Amino acid sequence: MQISSRFTIALHIFTCVDTFGDDHKVTSDFLAASINTNPVIIRKILTQLKNAGLITVARGTGGIELTRELSEISFYDVYEAIEPVEGGDLFRFHEAPNPACPVGRNIHALLDGKLNSIQDAMENEMKKYTLMDLRTGMKELLAEEV
């Protein structure tokens, strides 16, 4: 299991919008240059963030605005927007274990609760961090560069 780079790209996008939004036209090309990826990938992620209600995007003008305060958007909100979990389960279980096998017929009972606990722990940890944490951290890092 691995969360795709789209999640960290989305966090990068939010950080760029917050850092440069007052001084620069933050377009998909601008973001792609910062992230060092194709603008098409950026546009797809922006669409996902928009569909999740986290941002609004003004076509052509490059205007990206957050729909909530930085402190009200958690990493989990971004994760949900970018990495939708199929059926609500992070872990995909193999199809139809053999019921004639003692392991096959019991594997769900053995693992389901544990895997749900792991998913809950990860999601709860992601809920602890917000985009405001990115602003604070970026300001600290930029101050250290001076």
Calpha distance 72→95 (Å, rounded): 38
Give the model's pLDDT for residue 8: 95
Calpha distance 28→139 (Å, rounded): 23
Confidence band (pLDDT; 50, 70, 90) for 58?
Answer: confident
The CATH number of whichever domain residue 119 belongs to comes to 1.10.10.10
Helices (H), 1-146: 5-20, 28-35, 39-51, 75-82, 102-127, 131-145
Asked whether 91 and 115 are in contact (CB, 8 A), the reply is yes
What is the model's pTM? 0.87
Amino acid at 82: I
Q: How many domains does the chain have?
A: 1
73-123 per-position pLDDT tens digit: 999 999 999 987 777 778 878 888 999 999 999 999 999 999 999 999 999
32-41 per-position pLDDT tens digit: 999 999 999 9
Asked whether 84 and 49 are in contact (CB, 8 A), the reply is no
Asked whether 71 and 132 are in contact (CB, 8 A), the reply is yes
Calpha distance 97→100 (Å, rounded): 9
- For 22, the domain range is 5-145
14-49 per-position pLDDT tens digit: 999 999 988 888 888 999 999 999 999 999 999 999
